[in-house]
Homo-oligomer: A and B are copies of this chain.
Amino acid sequence: MAALGRKTWVIPEGWIPPQGASAQEDPTLVPHETACLLNTGPRDAQVRITIYFADREPAGPYTLTVPARRTRHLRFDLLREPEPVPLGTDFSSVIEADEPIVVQHTRLDSRRDSLALLSTMAWPAD
Interface residues of A (CB under 8 A from B): 1, 4-5, 8, 10-15, 18, 28-29, 34, 36-38, 40, 50, 52-55, 57-58, 69-73, 88, 90-92, 94, 102-109, 111-123, 125
Q: Contact check, A13 vs B113: say whether CB atoms are below 8 A apart.
A: no
Q: Contact check, A92 vs B54: say whether CB atoms are below 8 A apart.
A: no
Residue in B18, B54, B94, B119 whose CB lies within 8 Å of A13: B119
A90 with B71, Cβ < 8 A, contacts A5-B125, A102-B125, A114-B112 known: yes
Residue in B8, B12, B107, B115 whose CB lies within 8 Å of A111: B115
Chain B hits for A34, CB < 8 A: 13
Q: Contact check, A71 vs B91: say whether CB atoms are below 8 A apart.
A: yes
Q: Contact check, A52 vs B71: say whether CB atoms are below 8 A apart.
A: yes
